[in-house]
């Protein structure tokens, strides 16, 4: 694993001080990923991803809604800053929704592609 990390960091032209000792505070994601590799069971990792995704999905529209009292079209200079912030948050939410959907679909397609290629090669 350390070799992989060193190669990755070298590719970024970044220094590498080696791997951190077990238990270093990176949260539950790394231990869950390591358990998934050891056991072949993705359940704990999937649970963390589902929880994280749920928090993000709930947080994004809530951030946009905090500005819902601001006018979409300002009527006077005093309302311009609030309207800009409202639109900024709304566009951020819409952009997040579109980008996250594209990422999940791309990841799903990438996982299926090698199998599809193998099937075509066998035929």
- Look at residues 101, 19, 6 and name the one whose alpha carbon lies nearest to residue 60: 101
pLDDT beyond 50 at 82:
yes
pLDDT (0 to 100) of residue 52: 82
Measured CA distances, 27 to 32, 35, 67, 74 (Å) = 9, 14, 32, 44
- Look at residues 88, 100, 25, 107 and name the one whose alpha carbon lies nearest to residue 56: 100
Question: What six digits make up the tokens of 115?
Answer: 């199998």
User: Which of 21-25, 48-52, 103-107 has the highest mean predicted lDDT (pLDDT)?
Assistant: 48-52
pLDDT (0 to 100) of residue 104: 76
pLDDT beyond 70 at 19:
yes
Please list, in sequence order, all residues whose beta carbon lies within 8 angstroms of the beta carbon of residue 71, skipping any fewer than 6 positions away: 79, 82, 83, 86
């Amino acid at each position: 694993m350390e070799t992989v990390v060193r190669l990755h960091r070298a590719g970024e032209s970044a220094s590498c001080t080696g791997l951190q000792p077990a238990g270093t505070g990176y949260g539950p994601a790394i231990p869950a990923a390591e358990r998934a590799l050891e056991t072949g069971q993705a359940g704990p990792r999937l649970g963390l991803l589902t929880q994280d995704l749920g928090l993000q999905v709930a947080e994004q529209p809530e951030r946009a809604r905090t500005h819902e009292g601001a006018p979409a079209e300002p009527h006077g200079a005093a309302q311009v800053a609030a309207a800009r912030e409202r639109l900024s948050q709304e566009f951020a939410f819409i952009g997040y929704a579109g980008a996250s959907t594209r990422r999940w679909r791309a990841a799903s397609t990438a996982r299926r592609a090698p199998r599809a290629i193998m099937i075509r090669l066998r035929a």
